[in-house]
């Protein structure tokens, strides 16, 4: 059975947190102020990846790019004979 959102869109994944380092050229001015010029690249730490939750429930993403709590996805998917 494929999971669907309350709007009937297929669930395509989970919302994730991933840490990264935004690469930049960092300089210090004569008055001690740090200046940054971002390079437009981020090094991602995939080992930091974790699923975002809300009130203890995992958050899922549908094909419409909307977020849905796990209980809403389960409830709608179980009640929808069209997705079986």
pTM of the model: 0.75
Is the confidence at residue 39, as pLDDT, over 90?
A: yes
Residue written as token pair 């210090």: 28
Per-residue pLDDT band for 81 (boundaries 50, 70, 90) equals: low
A 10 A CB-CB count for 34 gives 8
pLDDT for the residue numbered 83: 54
Q: Which residue has the higher pLDDT, 78 or 72?
A: 72
CA torsion 37-39-44-48 (nearest 10°) is 0
Per-residue pLDDT band for 78 (boundaries 50, 70, 90) equals: confident
Mean pLDDT of 45-66: 98
């Amino acid at each position: 059975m494929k999971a669907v959102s309350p709007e009937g869109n297929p669930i395509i994944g989970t919302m994730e947190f991933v840490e990264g380092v935004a690469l930049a050229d960092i300089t210090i001015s004569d008055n001690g102020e740090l200046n940054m010029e971002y390079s437009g690249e981020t090094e991602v730490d995939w080992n930091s990846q974790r699923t975002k939750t809300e009130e203890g429930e995992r958050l899922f993403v549908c094909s419409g790019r909307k977020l849905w709590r796990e209980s809403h996805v389960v409830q709608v998917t179980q009640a929808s004979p069209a997705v079986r």
